[in-house]
Structure 1
Amino acid sequence: MPVARKQVGATGTQSVTISFAGFNRAWAVWIGDRLERRGVRVVHQRWDPQAGATLEDELRDLMLAPGRILVVLSDWYFQLGPRSHDEWNRALRTVVAPESERFAAVSVTTSALPGATSVFGAAELTNVGEEEAERRLLAHLDLPTDPLPRTDGGRPGARFPADTPEVWGGVPRRNTRFTGREGLLSEAYHALQSAGQGAGVVTLHGMSGVGKTQLAAEYVYRFGSDYDVVWWVPADRRALYRQRLAELAPELGLVTGAEYGERLRAVRDSLRRGRPHSHWLLILDGADEPDQIGDLVPTGPGHVLITSRNPEWREHNSHLVEVPVYDRGESVSFIRRRAPRLTHTEADQLANALEDLPLLLDQTAGWLNDSDMSVAEYIELLEGGIDQDVVKVSADFPLAFQTAWSILLNKLKETVPESVDLLRLCSFFAPGSIPVRLLREMPPGDLPEQLAGLMNDPLLWNKAIGQLRQYSVVRLESHESSVEEASSAGESVYLHRMVHKIVGTDMPARDRQEFIDVVRKALAAADPGRPIDAMYWPAYAEITPHLKWAEVLESRDPAVQALVLNCLRYMYFSGEYRAGIKLGERAMTAWRDLLGETHPRVWDLSYNYANLLRAVGDYAGTEAMERAVVDHLRTERGPQDLEHLRAANGLAADLRGLGRYDEALELSTWLLGAYREVLGDQDARTINAQNNLAISLRLLGRYEESLELNRRTLEARRQLLKARHGWTLFSEINYATDLRLLGRYNEAESLQAQSARVHRIALGEDTPQTLLAEYNLALCRYRSGDRGKAAAAFTRVLERGERVLGEHGPLTLMFAAGQSCFAREHGDIDQARTISDYVVNGYLMMLGESHPYVAGTRSNHALVLRNVGERDQAHQLMEQALTDMTRSVGENHPWTLGCAINASALRNLVGDPESAAALTELTVTRATEVLGRTHPLTLSARIAHAADLRGLRDRLRAEKVESEALGDLGSTLGPQHVHTVSARSRNRPFWDFEPQMI
């Protein structure tokens, strides 16, 4: 007959102590929430019996708690210790049965439990909905089950544990052997809960193999019910992280285009605003390079959990939780669950030999449980060895790892030898996430016999994968599907870096060559062949990390070599300059040795390598490289050879970078003619040459000619390419830039605003070209008078440029120059001075003393010095800038004319008004001739000249010049434009030097 139970609170004690295994925390929280709503005082007591104590004593200690004791029954509850079912049955009969009125229980598992648990008469909460589970819980405790009135403000309370968050993705399967770590889980939880909005970032930090990923996964399962969104992202590579984060967009219900750049922007904005979900948890797994992804860590009302070997995350506003190896008790408990045949003493001995490292314990105990080998024999092997030369793989690997791995590898060879072949194949990819689907997508004829069977037989494939998973050598990346589904679908597997480093040490030479050839072919077959198209950048982001490990630079296969070149192009267009330069440098060395100095592939490589070097400002280096190629190809193949023309195009860009604009114009003009003759007007390469000629014209101040060429280029690219193609968008930047430089500010802003929006959608927020588009938009808004929007845009672009491109890249220096000029007039003068000084020194180091960019930024810096009262220093620096600019680009160049306007103002300040007036008069004449009477620079010179005439007390001429200039300003820019209003108020105009793209 059923056991009679007292109603909770019937004797006046309104208390329930909930005893639960940490694994079942979510159930304990939900149960406590349901009871507290009924006025019950709840105490949570995590069940964690100590190894040295008897179960009877632990249960008696539990009875010291006030009120009823509600046990959350699960197989996990009875595994802690671990203890056998016999031990539990004795304890339950001895302690619980005589005190059955004190105990109650709910069951949250369908697994078999010790027979004596029947003493609890537990309420079954599995396989029912939330309302029925609550009814059963309350009825079991003799509490009213009628619905409560809504007096709690409508708060939702704890989530029912059987309900997953509304959005859930990428999370690994729960490790049912997870052991210990309770203190770390608690520390991470409280650190996130106590953090202010936008600051909820915790990093689980520790050495390889210590179990950081498993700890993060357990955190998700224990505390995931607190969140509406849980999203797991591999973060070992920036490009892959961006791709996976962008995939969250449709899960959040965000309406975006297909481009992942737009999706990424939408996701980050949604998380920051907390709409549609404010309770979100993002897990960044394997984020070992904070500098690479620190700028992409979302802010907002949610939480971010990071796993990393790098403690520098503390410098990125993250709370650091150090994850050590297991303590000995955790090691012993884990081993005994992984290998039940081992005694407590044997588990202790094994843990000591393996230095308590979780990954090694998991792999070793897994196969040792199936082996006839004793622990003593195994330890003897570790100490004396299969391999007498036992050394550390790296500083953070345990001494025993190499030998332990050798033993495990032998076990795999004996059971499923195909698993060893698969593992060795994986070792020629980069450690971490390995896209094994690329192998399975290969044509059967490209595979050696021993691998063809593995790849083409789903049963054999699944058996090999299953064996590797059984011993925790790999884990499946397709976490929501079954092993069979994931394997047959050709997903990815995760190979730990420790295993990756050791697996190939005893590989036969023949196997090694066969396996590496297979991986090379798989990577080449995965090449989309379109590195310029941002739609395919995620594919290249997945491929590029594996190039080094597959030793692709040693291959003579044309398809593999084409893959290398396409990856370099992708890195250039996407802004991955540093990684691209490393690859290009290694490729130049390897291919020159492999193919010879004059092989066509080497010319291809040098062109793409030079693009990357030029992107970071190494113009002198690229000029020497390109000139050697140009001279050789002209001699060997003739001037109209397409390889020669391409190299000459690069050389023209180098000349522009070096400030040798006349040479660049001459070469660019010849190139356009040559391309037209060889390929015709409508070929993409001819149009590119036309684009480059326009840039050369702009750098010489010939803005009208540049505008016309850029207009034709834009129209041609819109017809030939897609509207969102990167080159088409680049032409929009060029055309808008020319409009702005000609003073057609409204037209320029209208075009550039639309183009910047499309850039963000099509290319992503942080690519170099998008940053350039947004910078030009900031300049357009500044010139149009919208200073509020301009201020925010200047700051945002510079911050992102520094993070993405580095502090000393050409684009970053360009962005900094604009920010400094704006801050000088409308912001913080101290900030303007700091940035301006950094810009001048940056260009000096990159370009040398005689470059026009150095003269131009010195002119800007002189204006900063003037504003802080250092007049003499400002005057001297401005005169130097005017002299240097005149020598660099000539006396009629707009940059020289701008320096002259500034120099005349400073001559007035130091008491030389006659010289100032003479300079502005000459400047007006030259500017009118070069740019026209109503160009903004000419108008500034005319207003400045009027001011100088007033300084000489020549009032009649001053009023005449001023009146005519104000009339032209009103007609050209509008009577209410900021420049017109400023001039009408007799504020002397100044000129800002703007470094241009080359």
Structure 2
Amino acid sequence: MSGARTPVGPTEKGAGRQTVTISFAGFNRAWAAWIGDRLERRGLRVVYLRWDSPSGIPLEDLLRDLKLAEGRILIVVSEWYFQLGPRTHEEWNAALRAVVGPDPSRFAAVSVTTSAVPAASAVLAAVDLTNMGAEEAERRLLDRLDLPAQPQSEPAHDARRGPRFPAAMPEVWGGVPRRNTRFTGRETLLNDAYHLLQGAEPGAGVLTLHGMSGVGKTQTAAEYVYRFGSEYDVVWWVNAEKRVGYRRLLAELAPKLGLATGQEYGERLRAVRDSLRRGDPYARWLLVLDGADEPDQIWDLVPTGPGHVLITSRNPEWTEHNSRLLEVPVYQRYESVAFIRRRAPRLTEAEADQLAEALEDLPLLLDQTAGWLNDSDLSVDDYIGLLEGGIDQDVVKVSADFPLAFQTAWSILLNKLRETVPESVDLLRLCTFFAPGFVPVRLLKEMPHDELPEQVAGLLNDPLLWNKAINQLRQYSVVRLESHDTTADDPSATGESLYLHRMVHQIVGEDMPAEDREEFITVVRQALAAADPRRPTDPDLWPAYAEIVPHLKYADVLNSTDPAIQRLVFNCLRYMYFSGEYRAGIKLGERALATWRALLGEAHPRIWELTYHYANLLRAVGDYARTEAIERVAVDHLRQERGPQDLEHLRASSGLAADLRGLGRYDEAFQVSQWTLAAYRELLGEQDSRTLNAQNNLGATLVLLGRYEEALESDRRTLEARRQLLRARHPWTLYSETSYAIDLRLLGRYGEAESVQTKNVREQLRVLGAKNPYTLKARHNLACCHYRSGDREQAGKLFADVLEQSERVLGETNPDTLRYAVSQSCFTREHGDIDQARELSEATIARYEVMLAEGHPFVAGARANHALILRGVGERDHAHVLVEQALTDMTAAVGPDHPWTLGCAVNASALRSLVGDPESAAELSGTTAARAAEVLGRTHPLTLSARIARAADLRSLRDGRQAEKLEQEALSDLAATLGPQHVHTISARARSRPFWDFEPQTT
């Protein structure tokens, strides 16, 4: 960077100096920015000049060119400044004596390092800025440049906050890999990344470094952090390869931000994202998502706000998720040469060029090869000869994923490792049965060592041998040693993780004898089983499961017949179900069923247990027809094989009842649920958790049948028993409390329902977090409670937020999401943009029609709601036809006395009146009011709506006397039941025709 030159003023103390040129190594950009800001505040003009030292140009010539810069030249002295090239200290001493020595007044310097620098740099008279605060550093800088201490002008307000003092670490720092002191090049890439992020609009500072494996994306991101991290108050690095792990690691930022949350990571995650979005307490934050190769899995969890997000990924699809892309290519040849010579100083420039060409400039391969080649007496020519076919090509299987040079180079490196520390190869091979990336090797050290193979036991039991193996792998850049806990500064404080690159992981896995493979995979499986917390329903233990799950595939746990390993699979499936990780759980369940059927046989007991967990996950995404078929096979087999009172048969029967509920076959579901509950009570008693689960399921069925009073009593008993048997904050207890609040609301007891649900939501947020499916259900019911109580503002915010979160977490076609979409559409119809309501309603109906059979009550109900939208936009005839069809379908689906049918009838009577058929409208509203009073009671809100509608229809028939009598009675009951100022009472008093909104219930 440079600008127009002006004459340099005198250099004597106190004289004016208009321009200062700051010369700095790229690594020290933060120091240059801070120094420049301090000088500009005192009226100086600052020119920034990044120092480069191409090896082909003599140092003396470069320093003479530097003297052409404007004004006083201020050099930021650091080890980086003198290492570029690379140059020896002897070269530097000679150049400094020749160029700076005769004219020292043109130069000044500050030192920002404690490392050794060339002796002749003393001619620069650098003042030390290390190990001190910003005020003292500024005082020394100004004194060195003969400048007054007071700024010429300070900004009138904080619109321009200067750069942070580089020696001051960010207030919050976590998870960042150690700095790679051999990092070379990438200057343009780093500068582009910096300017793209700094120039982004607030909320849009998201940048993805993308490129092939081994190209150095992670190292580039880490260098960005160290180079520019001082400009942020918060720097947080997370491994983002898997959604579950990413959520956990991001949640761990909560206590560092000083957020008051509980221990559960769902609650912490919500608080962190909200804090970053608001920029409170820190607006200058940097979040690094490393290895985010599946954007569709985590894009919805990428924070927005005033800070920056830096992503590393092999996947360029991040551009579809509001991220800028910056490609990380292989090294340019000069970068390769410089890197090799720094890594292997014994090699000449020509040899480094030769090696770089052979290794195709791939940074990972350059790092590993140059590292051990420097310690070897093998010549570069001989090594390249090996690469070109001088060794057995069968040592490593050829894979299309890697260049041939990479495979061959790895064969050579593995041989080197075997010759020096053979245990390092054993450790490396153990690591390949974990997922690539961060390998939690501490799990190996924490597992019982009683029955380990001798070869592995020696490695795990001998700390010296263990450290020797790890150091050997680190020396050749095969692995990085990282802290397992992103909040710890010292890896040894919490146990360590090795970072194993994906390319290394794959190629080592391919190059393994069969006997070693069997031995090592067994050890890793045992380590994972030993790490199983064995309580997958406990949210406090979900972080442990989130850590285990990514490794199941690589340890091939499904091909193990060990009961402990199989129990781990079941527990992981249950964790995925309860935490809402449905899609990942379904994939695991599908693979497990296929593998275990072949391994164990179709009728093995494990198959039926697996079927139960798999069906739960499928049911959670609305695949009811498929789950019914699966559960019927299980029920029929288990009844015939073990009898109807068998616990496995009862569990399968409970699953079948849930499928029937999903399919809208509520009477059948009730029969199965009732029988199952009776059997559990007989076998296990009233207080067993399985009995209470069955009672919970019966309550859900009663709600769907419209038998709200019975549901309330059933759910009340379940809630009280779960509070005693489990605990008040157990997820199942909280779920029962939500069910109880829903029952109260459906009975029209809005005040009680809102009180219970408000308390419940606070607990859900604390225990499960805002995005857990249980919490979303609770928050949705709270929105309904607000709406029914007349608090439209709170209801509207909650409806919109719950739908948005559910779409992101569960997907747009999930049954829960569709329930929330129905509510949002109804609310928007009355209090928002009716065109948006129509669009959402049409999309919801279309999804229901794909998911559910024609005639399903949910389809009929959604169409009844849509008729109200059509009425609102003036399409009366279309609305009339649609609501009549909905009434017919709902009657066929659930019977004439179901509250849903009665609600459809209230709407249908209104449309009949609107299209000019007052006689038919009055007949329907009269029948509806009588049935509602009988089924729900005289003062239930739906009955009151029907009575008000009946009065309106009588008035249309000019029976004013009877209409007035009915209306006054209904208004009196409304005021007594809901209050004289309730929105429904006020609306009825104004003679606004009442309507009914269909609300799908949980199945």
- 1:477 counterpart SS class: strand
CA separation of 1:488 and 1:409: change in aligned 2, threshold 3 A = farther
Equivalent residue number for residue 447 of structure 2: 442
Matched, 1:79 2:83: yes
Preserved CA contact (<8 Å) 2:715 2:740:
yes
Pick aligned residue for 2:315 from 310, 321, 333 = 310
- 1:702 Cα offset (Å): 0.4
Matched, 1:143 2:147: yes
**For residues 187 and 357 of structure 1, what CA distance do their matches in structure 2 show?**
21
CA separation of 1:479 and 1:691: change in aligned 2, threshold 3 A = closer
Equivalent residue number for residue 54 of structure 1: 58
The one-letter code matched in structure 2 to 1:222 is R
Pick aligned residue for 1:863 from 821, 843, 868 = 868
Matched, 1:568 2:584: no
**For residues 460 and 376 of structure 1, what CA distance do their matches in structure 2 show?**
34
Preserved CA contact (<8 Å) 2:359 2:365:
yes
CA separation of 1:358 and 1:549: change in aligned 2, threshold 3 A = same
Pick aligned residue for 1:539 from 526, 534, 544 = 544
Matched, 1:95 2:61: no
Pick aligned residue for 2:649 from 635, 644, 653 = 644
Equivalent residue number for residue 767 of structure 2: 762
The one-letter code matched in structure 2 to 1:82 is P
CA separation of 1:396 and 1:782: change in aligned 2, threshold 3 A = farther
- 2:102 counterpart SS class: helix
Pick aligned residue for 1:368 from 373, 376, 379 = 373
CA separation of 1:29 and 1:248: change in aligned 2, threshold 3 A = same
Preserved CA contact (<8 Å) 1:205 1:322:
yes
Preserved CA contact (<8 Å) 1:778 1:793:
yes
- 1:482 Cα offset (Å): 15
- 1:699 Cα offset (Å): 0.7
Equivalent residue number for residue 912 of structure 2: 907
Equivalent residue number for residue 719 of structure 2: 714
Alignment of 1:28-39 (within 5 A): 28-39=32-43
- 1:848 counterpart SS class: coil
CA separation of 1:151 and 1:839: change in aligned 2, threshold 3 A = closer
The one-letter code matched in structure 2 to 1:749 is E
**For residues 714 and 487 of structure 2, what CA distance do their matches in structure 1 show?**
59
Equivalent residue number for residue 660 of structure 2: 655
Equivalent residue number for residue 5 of structure 2: none
**For residues 509 and 484 of structure 2, what CA distance do their matches in structure 1 show?**
27
Pick aligned residue for 1:114 from 118, 132, 136 = 118
- 1:109 Cα offset (Å): 2.1
The one-letter code matched in structure 2 to 1:200 is G
**For residues 772 and 402 of structure 2, what CA distance do their matches in structure 1 show?**
37
Alignment of 1:870-889 (within 5 A): 870-889=875-894
Alignment of 1:776-855 (within 5 A): 776-855=781-860
- 2:496 counterpart SS class: coil
- 1:137 Cα offset (Å): 2.8
Deviations 1:210-251 (A, max 9, x none): 111111111111111111111111111111111111111221
The one-letter code matched in structure 2 to 1:683 is D
Matched, 1:771 2:776: yes
The one-letter code matched in structure 2 to 1:686 is T
Deviations 1:940-974 (A, max 9, x none): 11111111111212211111111111111111111
The percent identity for this pair of structures is 74
**For residues 799 and 206 of structure 2, what CA distance do their matches in structure 1 show?**
28
Deviations 1:115-139 (A, max 9, x none): 3223223223334444443333333
CA separation of 1:198 and 1:393: change in aligned 2, threshold 3 A = farther
**For residues 487 and 904 of structure 2, what CA distance do their matches in structure 1 show?**
70
CA separation of 1:144 and 1:829: change in aligned 2, threshold 3 A = closer
The one-letter code matched in structure 1 to 2:821 is A
**For residues 920 and 942 of structure 2, what CA distance do their matches in structure 1 show?**
20
Pick aligned residue for 2:961 from 956, 959, 967 = 956
TM-score (norm 1): 0.97
Matched, 1:299 2:274: no
**For residues 775 and 134 of structure 1, what CA distance do their matches in structure 2 show?**
56
- Runs of 5+ unmatched residues, structure 1: none
Preserved CA contact (<8 Å) 2:427 2:469:
yes
Coordinate RMSD, CA, aligned: 2.2
Equivalent residue number for residue 680 of structure 2: 675
**For residues 978 and 103 of structure 1, what CA distance do their matches in structure 2 show?**
79
Matched, 1:624 2:629: yes
- 1:492 counterpart SS class: strand
Equivalent residue number for residue 69 of structure 2: 65
Alignment of 1:241-256 (within 5 A): 241-256=246-261
CA separation of 1:126 and 1:480: change in aligned 2, threshold 3 A = farther
**For residues 334 and 665 of structure 1, what CA distance do their matches in structure 2 show?**
72
Pick aligned residue for 1:180 from 169, 185, 190 = 185
- 1:297 Cα offset (Å): 1.5
Matched, 1:219 2:247: no
Deviations 1:389-424 (A, max 9, x none): 799977664342211211111111111111111110
Matched, 1:358 2:363: yes
Deviations 1:760-816 (A, max 9, x none): 110111111111111111111111111111111111111111111111111111111
- 1:98 counterpart SS class: coil
- Runs of 5+ unmatched residues, structure 2: 1-8
- 1:32 Cα offset (Å): 2.3
Matched, 1:971 2:976: yes
Preserved CA contact (<8 Å) 2:939 2:974:
yes
Preserved CA contact (<8 Å) 2:396 2:507:
no
Matched, 1:696 2:701: yes
Preserved CA contact (<8 Å) 1:212 1:307:
yes
Deviations 1:715-739 (A, max 9, x none): 1111111111110011011101111
- 1:384 Cα offset (Å): 2.0
Preserved CA contact (<8 Å) 2:483 2:489:
no
**For residues 150 and 901 of structure 2, what CA distance do their matches in structure 1 show?**
86
Preserved CA contact (<8 Å) 2:41 2:154:
no
Alignment of 1:976-991 (within 5 A): 976-991=981-996
The one-letter code matched in structure 2 to 1:43 is V
- 1:12 Cα offset (Å): 4.0
Preserved CA contact (<8 Å) 1:6 1:142:
no
- 1:503 counterpart SS class: helix
Deviations 1:476-527 (A, max 9, x none): 1229999996368531111111111110222111111110000000000000
Deviates more, 1:924-933 or 1:34-43: 34-43
Equivalent residue number for residue 6 of structure 2: none
Deviations 1:537-586 (A, max 9, x none): 11111101100110101111111000000000001111111111111111
CA separation of 1:601 and 1:33: change in aligned 2, threshold 3 A = same
**For residues 812 and 151 of structure 1, what CA distance do their matches in structure 2 show?**
50
CA separation of 1:918 and 1:485: change in aligned 2, threshold 3 A = closer
Matched, 1:42 2:46: yes
Deviates more, 1:676-685 or 1:950-959: 950-959
- 1:691 Cα offset (Å): 0.9
**For residues 562 and 484 of structure 2, what CA distance do their matches in structure 1 show?**
36
Matched, 1:16 2:20: yes
Deviates more, 1:724-733 or 1:201-210: 201-210
CA separation of 1:385 and 1:933: change in aligned 2, threshold 3 A = farther
The one-letter code matched in structure 1 to 2:76 is V
The one-letter code matched in structure 2 to 1:706 is A
Deviates more, 1:253-262 or 1:835-844: 253-262
- 2:697 counterpart SS class: helix
Preserved CA contact (<8 Å) 2:175 2:486:
no
Deviations 1:4-41 (A, max 9, x none): x9746766433221111111222222322333344333
- 1:108 Cα offset (Å): 2.2
Preserved CA contact (<8 Å) 1:462 1:484:
no
Deviations 1:32-64 (A, max 9, x none): 233334433322111012233221221111111
Deviations 1:56-76 (A, max 9, x none): 221111111111112122221
- 1:148 Cα offset (Å): 8.7
Preserved CA contact (<8 Å) 2:729 2:767:
yes
Deviations 1:303-354 (A, max 9, x none): 2211122222222222222211111111111111111111111111211222
Preserved CA contact (<8 Å) 2:42 2:151:
no
